[in-house]
Amino acid sequence: MPAVLINRVLGVTGRILTLLLTVGITLIGLVALTFCIGRVVPIDPVLSVVGQKASEEVYQRVFLEMGLDKPLWQQFLAYAGKLVRGDFGTSFVTNRPVLSDLSGFFPATLELATLGLLAGTLIGVPAGVAAAYWHDKWPDYVIRFVGLIGYSVPIFWLGLVGLFVFYSRLDWVSGPGQIDVFYQGIVKPVTGSLLIDSLLSGEWEVFGNALSHIVLPAALLGYYSLAYISRMTRSMMLDQLSREYVLTARLKGATEYRAVMLHALRNAAIPLVTVIALSYGGLLEGSVLVETVFAWPGIGNYIASSLFRADINAVLGGTVLVGAVFILLNMVSDVVYQMLDPRSNLRRR
Amino acid sequence: MTAVNLTHAETRRQLRRARLSEFTKFARRFAGNPLGMIGLAILGVLLASAVFAPLLATHDPYLPDLVHRLSPPSFENWLGTDELGRDIFSRILYGARLTLLIVGLVVATSAPIGLIIGAVAGTSGGWVDAVFMRITDVFLAVPKLLLALAFVAALGPGIVNAALAITLTAWPPYARLARAEALIVRDSDYVNAVRLAGGSEFRIVFRHIMPMCLSSVIVRMTLDMAGIILTAAGLGFIGLGAQPPLPEWGAMISTGRKFIFDQWWVATMPGLAIFIVSLGFNLLGDAMRDLLDPHLRRRA
């Protein structure tokens, strides 16, 4: 393993370099993958752009424009170069650059996923700790059961059922969309998040309305991540609670709260960083289905509706963006992990 | 000559007996796991409804009956009818076939691909290993559902294309698993014995290393099936999986979506079917893992 040697010699810088290299390779892989999907997989990439009814002239022009006469590796380089410069191509539907479309839709997705992650973490971690503490007693069974259902339920279907029950029958929440038409355009977009923007401008009514719209989809995403987070927390805490240092703490007279929350949880918390980062990425992805159900003006909805209009540039652009965020999240969690874990300085890889 | 054959036959018989007793031991332990048995029962019901769909169905799943369109669950239509008056219960029964088809296709392709790549990478090591594992990492790092979406978008919708797309995103974990197992056994004495006896690398990988990777791959497979069902249903829901009039559960939810506020059963019933089946696979997978996972077994 040369990586070990490099680490020894260069220490921290070496580790950061290796990490950056890994991330770089993965990003190139992602771009190569989307390139293959866009250019190689379709029987005829030109047809997927111009449609079946285009005239021969248009066809030839697009064929040359797309550089399909050049060798594949040149096409790939051109594609990657464009991506690096932020050129994701033009959406055939909106006729605007895909990147500006994406940046318009991204805040709504981020808002939804962040709220979902907050809910999932704030409930999931304590639930996992409780399940591990009362291992094989009723709290453990209840929490595991709730988690198991979260793993098994189709999230888009749960969204529909949620809309039926809480919007149509009980009228507790607002329906699909980010905000009622009546409140649209009142707040100036500053951060892009409607909740924060309306708070900043002191528009309480708008805030309330936006909140009643986001509660259900965010709760769904929260449940989705809760299932994963509570399960991982439980198994990590089970592992920690059986260690001798916890026994030692108890023997020395530490309260149960201290032994569990301060000793065991602190050690379990380090790998939890990775778990939470991963589920954040999972939420960005899971939002494709949830956003479709709730007509949420986010990236997932954008990608799904582009799929139907055969807008391959938009689809691939969205995939690259979410994929890149996913990979960067992984990297950040890696770095945080190393900063938190005192052992990683000595025993890395 | 005959003596040699005799001993061979004897060892074979012993081997078979040992395998049989191992299996019955496993079956007995599995029977002691109630949740696993529930999962197995659900899987049994799924299989039965797929096989006997024509016998069990009360109506033709494709035949429109516009007089009775969107009628609520009743004695005549147990789970109600959809927007064309087709019986939802019968459609769900036939949909079980599509679900099994997709799961079968994905598992039958992704597990062997992952197994071969992982076993070859782990056994050969060096640059082969490095290259294969880098590729695997890239696939693992990219969000699965999105990749599948993009892939289907390029290939065009359809049930086989959906299965292909899911396969594309499902093989990397198997490769990882198989590689880890291969790394453990590749320098063991029995492999070296084969090598000394002149067995080719090809033979070593396929006859002697891969079988050792199988059990963990199988456990992972059962754990993955629920996820495959959910992804397939999601693709169907978006409209990229099975196309109408096929009674695929996700696609059924997607058509029922328009009626969710007034005729709730159209979307709810197929969703329940997906939920129950994936719950069954999850229960089964958890039970298998508890019984087969060497790490857990050691702790217990």
ipTM score of complex:
0.84
Using alpha carbons, list the distances in angstroms from residue B296 to A115, A281, B219, B292, B300.
Answer: 35, 28, 13, 8, 6
Q: What is the pLDDT of residue A45?
A: 64
Task: Report chain B residues whose CB lies below 8 A from the CB of A154.
Answer: 230, 233-234, 237, 250, 253, 271, 274-275, 278
Query: Is B20 contained in some domain?
Result: no
- State how far residue B262 is from chain A, nearest Cα, in angstroms: 9
Please answer yes or no on whether A152 and B261 come within 8 Å at the CB atom: no
Please answer yes or no on whether B257 and A308 come within 8 Å at the CB atom: no
Whether the per-residue pLDDT at A158 is higher than 50: the answer is: yes
* Domain boundaries, position B134: 44-299
Query: Is B28 contained in some domain?
Result: no
Query: Is B73 contained in some domain?
Result: yes
Among A321, A316, A299, A322, smallest CA distance to A89 is for A316
Q: What is the pLDDT of residue A41?
A: 61
Whether the per-residue pLDDT at B297 is higher than 70: the answer is: no
Indicate the burial class of A220 (C-beta count within 10 angstroms; 0-12, 13-18, 19 or more). buried
Work out how many domains chain B is built from and give that number: 1
Query: Is B33 contained in some domain?
Result: no
- State how far residue A319 is from chain B, nearest Cα, in angstroms: 6
Residue A42 is nearest to which of B149, B154, B230, comparing CB atoms?
B154
Whether the per-residue pLDDT at A49 is higher than 70: the answer is: no
Q: Cα separation of B246 and B249, whole Å?
A: 9
Which residue from A minimizes the CA distance to B264?
Answer: A164
What residues contact A107, with CB distance under 8 A and at least 6 apart? A191, A192, A193
- State how far residue B291 is from chain A, nearest Cα, in angstroms: 17
Query: Is B71 contained in some domain?
Result: yes
Does residue B245 have a cis bond before it (omega within 30 degrees)? yes
Whether the per-residue pLDDT at B2 is higher than 50: the answer is: no
Query: Is B39 contained in some domain?
Result: no
Provide the β-strand partners of residue A90: A97
CATH of the domain at B284: 1.10.3720.10
Per-residue pLDDT, averaged over B183-210, amounts to: 85
Query: Is B128 contained in some domain?
Result: yes
Per-residue pLDDT, averaged over B257-286, amounts to: 88
Query: Is B108 contained in some domain?
Result: yes
Q: What is the pTM of this model?
A: 0.85
What residues contact A193, with CB distance under 8 A and at least 6 apart? A107, A108, A110, A111
Q: What is the pLDDT of residue B300?
A: 38
Q: What is the pLDDT of residue B298?
A: 46
- Asked if A132 is an interface residue toward chain B (Cβ–Cβ < 8 A), one would say no
